[in-house]
Structure 1
């Protein structure tokens, strides 16, 4: 591949994107960058400004001007961060969500019109080519190390089972009983879950899965359960575990759960420190023999009403 090959592809793709925005209505009345800010804010209930700046790779002053414009227009609200009082958190207002929703509808319609021109037999090859570009260029030196959180794709639930089994066997010596437990949890979710009240997140870094977590209904009324938090060894130290736990907390609070509970074991020190940072409280612990090891199981609880004040 040569520089000319890359430049030729860039010219082609830029022209294609321009054709999708025929009449310049796709982002109106916002710029492309402003539309990207609205899109990212629409993905979560709130987002720290510094995380938004990192996610979009924007200059701090430029982002501040955009947020000032949005705040004056009543599209966003800013306040202290729930995770760090030194930071500022940003969230969309109802008009802001309506604006982001309109942009999303336009984008979906434009891309849908483009895909209508692609024969069905060619679509898997097109998708694979797009993933290959993301994988190769996303892993370049100097690229983003923060990663993104997304919904699971086909095959990701199987990846959750495989990576849990492999990592816990390698790091803690747990036997196949743990793989069986994870397989049952994942199978139950895949076969019967309420998408409005239960979710799975996949953390993706450099185009590859780097972590996961689940939020499911608990047996206790009004309670959700956090399950299967995992971060790949090479992705640790970049805040992915904190982002996954925060995603569960925000989701659970947003859909009306009163409390969030989880079960873990005392040997999982890194995970327990994440839970403590986010306000979980240890409420019970007891020894047990599981997964071929003598362990101490722990129940943790987070009051979503208290933690949100």
Structure 2
């Protein structure tokens, strides 16, 4: 069999980057599909093993290929450029039958390079009462932090941990009222307030050896299907995470449910920069490969809980 293959004009300039452009070689092998002998009852025959490969020239943007039979399940290739000058030769390409199911199985149960965040349970437990939590100052805004700094000016010991509660504003106003009713103004106010605390805390060298802990409630979906209750606090988490990347080891993100009243040393002792507690169970975020099984047929990715007709806002620093 003979085949002539040419790179499209927009890709011709890229031919020089390869010994033999992979798209050209792949297209040449597609000629095997025209030969009824390259089909079997188990499925089409696909290239499986190469031997005796020689490259004589590089950078060809068009190929003339002669494919010859080598037994019942292999072919040889003689490759020239558009002017007939030798480019490559292959003594044998062994062919094997493969079904679509086998190809999917070979890829494994999870995608190789597609990841998502999954919250994973840790062996740590959260005690019902943690006395260390009572020793840590809790602030809700810059004013509270300034009050703490004034006590330090008076000789009070510097706390090892300062907790920022994302539960209510200094005026008692809720930081967020869920996805349905929260306004842009509320979100902006929460983010601005948390930013002020982070900046003031980082600027004070007395806190250099301590940790700043942002505590939110229902601001992240740590358990599939639970949703996000506090959108404003979720926005503050995004800002806080950006500060984390610039100050490793100094900032900690904790999202809790009703099983936790105050964050204590037992929880921070897990040693993770980001945690969530659900029903007394400590969860940490991990990047894991997206499962192949059950993935959306059109995209290969499964997005649970996102309606096809809805709007998705993707955020992140």
Q: Which has the higher helix share?
A: 1
Query: Considering the TM-score relative to the shorter chain, is it more than 0.5?
Result: no
- TM-score bracket relative to the smaller structure: under 0.3
Larger radius of gyration: 2
Name which structure has the greater RCO, CA cutoff 8 Å, separation 6+: 2
Q: Which has the higher strand share?
A: 2
TM-score by length of 1: 0.25
